[in-house]
């Protein structure tokens, strides 16, 4: 890739990353937090600078890059042409082979399993069921007793271990299946909102193998999914501009599933792209 092209793509990537993280960075500078938007930076623990670093992907040689900071980045090596650099995919795969294999197992199993659309986002409700403390300092939209009643009126069908592990002790036995970390690839499915958000995590962990545009697409998808996740939660977020998706009603369930299906389709496209990157 010629210098003019890769530098233009790098600048475009940085502008997009800055736009996606601007609100979070401004809040952080003021010492403020946000119960919806900050999740992608606190739960996944990746700083905005991770998003800002553009990679061309494996086997793309960047001309006239030897004198740039990129030439000193880990997982880069000199290319075949004088003054060029290229992602050292072989070295990355050699050192991170076990991690890559685990990611591939989860992505492939999730992609191949039929999506489920009957959970209605009740994982967030299960996290406060009969609990004295909430994960977020936000009031419950229906109050504690009515929130518990919603959980008791439904079957919990969570398939994502990293949501299930935050269930209150009283909610755990109400789930259709007991989930475990070592069985994650056996239960993940593409209809799950959290499986869609995790595509951002997997893209980060695959490091320089993933082109920057794919990484930002995964982050943007995760951000949109997070919004639905919290709008469908038991929390009352109207004071900060989020209208609820009232999954305790037939209309709310229908709205949730419509959006869930759209995210599942987008997630599957990204999932297949990450699997193709791993297989290259």
The 3-state DSSP class for residue 120 equals: coil
Half-sphere exposure of residue 65: CA atoms within 13 angstroms, side-chain side: 29
Model pLDDT for residues 198-221, shown as the tens digit of each residue: 999 999 999 999 999 999 999 999
Domain locations in the chain as residue ranges: 3-117+186-279
75: enclosing H helix or E strand: none
Mean pLDDT of the region 191-196: 97
Percent of the chain with pLDDT over 90: 93
How far, in Å, CA of 37 to CA of 226, rounded? 8
- pLDDT surpasses 80 at 133: no
Mean pLDDT of the region 72-84: 92
Mean pLDDT of the region 128-138: 81
Beta-sheet strands, E only, within the chain: 76-78, 85-87
Reading the block at residue 6, the tokens are: 């890769």
Model confidence at 125, in pLDDT bands (50, 70, 90)?
very high
Do 75 and 88 contact (CB within 8 A), yes or no?
yes
Model confidence at 45, in pLDDT bands (50, 70, 90)?
confident
The reply to whether the predicted model has a pTM over 0.85 is: yes
Cross-strand pairs, 140: 235
Model pLDDT for residues 154-187, shown as the tens digit of each residue: 999 999 999 999 999 999 999 999 999 999 999 9
262: enclosing H helix or E strand: helix 250-279
Model confidence at 132, in pLDDT bands (50, 70, 90)?
confident
Do 63 and 85 contact (CB within 8 A), yes or no?
no
Model confidence at 263, in pLDDT bands (50, 70, 90)?
very high
- pLDDT surpasses 90 at 136: no
3-state secondary structure 144-171: HHHHHHHHHCCCECCCCHHHHCCCCCCC
Q: How far apart, in Å, do the first and last CA atoms of the chain sit? A: 19
If you count them, how many residues does the chain have?
280
Mean pLDDT of the region 129-146: 87
Model confidence at 131, in pLDDT bands (50, 70, 90)?
confident
Q: Alpha-carbon Rg of the chain, whole angstroms?
A: 21
**Cβ neighbours around 79 below 10 Å, total:** 18
How far, in Å, CA of 161 to CA of 164, rounded? 5
Task: List Cβ neighbours of 200 (8 Å cut-off, separation of 6 or more).
Answer: 40, 44, 215, 218, 219, 221, 222
Reading the block at residue 104, the tokens are: 């591939």
């Amino acid at each position: 890739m010629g210098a003019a092209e890769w530098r233009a793509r790098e600048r475009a990537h940085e502008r997009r990353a800055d736009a996606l993280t601007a609100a979070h960075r401004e809040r952080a500078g003021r010492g403020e937090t946000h119960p919806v938007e900050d999740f992608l930076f606190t739960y996944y623990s990746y700083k905005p600078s991770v998003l800002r670093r553009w990679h061309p992907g494996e086997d793309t040689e960047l001309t006239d890059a030897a004198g740039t900071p990129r030439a000193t980045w880990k997982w880069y090596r000199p290319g075949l042409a004088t003054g060029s650099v290229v992602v050292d995919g072989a070295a990355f795969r050699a050192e991170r082979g076990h991690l890559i294999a685990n990611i591939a197992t989860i992505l492939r199993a999730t992609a191949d399993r039929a999506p489920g659309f009957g959970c209605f986002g009740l994982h967030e409700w299960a996290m406060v069921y009969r609990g004295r403390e909430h994960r977020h300092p936000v009031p419950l939209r229906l109050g504690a007793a009515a929130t518990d009643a919603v959980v008791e009126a439904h079957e919990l069908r969570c398939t994502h271990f990293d949501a299930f592990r935050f269930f209150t002790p009283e909610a755990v036995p109400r789930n259709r299946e007991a989930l475990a970390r070592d069985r994650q690839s056996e239960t993940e499915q593409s209809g799950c909102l959290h499986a869609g958000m995790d595509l951002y995590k997997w893209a980060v962990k695959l490091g320089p193998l993933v082109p920057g545009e794919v990484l930002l697409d995964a982050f943007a998808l995760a951000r949109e999914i997070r919004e639905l996740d919290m709008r469908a939660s038991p929390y009352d977020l109207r004071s900060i501009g989020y209208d609820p998706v009232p999954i305790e009603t037939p209309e709310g369930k229908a709205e949730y599933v419509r959006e869930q299906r759209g995210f599942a389709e987008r997630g599957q496209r990204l999932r297949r792209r990450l699997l193709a990157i791993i297989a290259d």
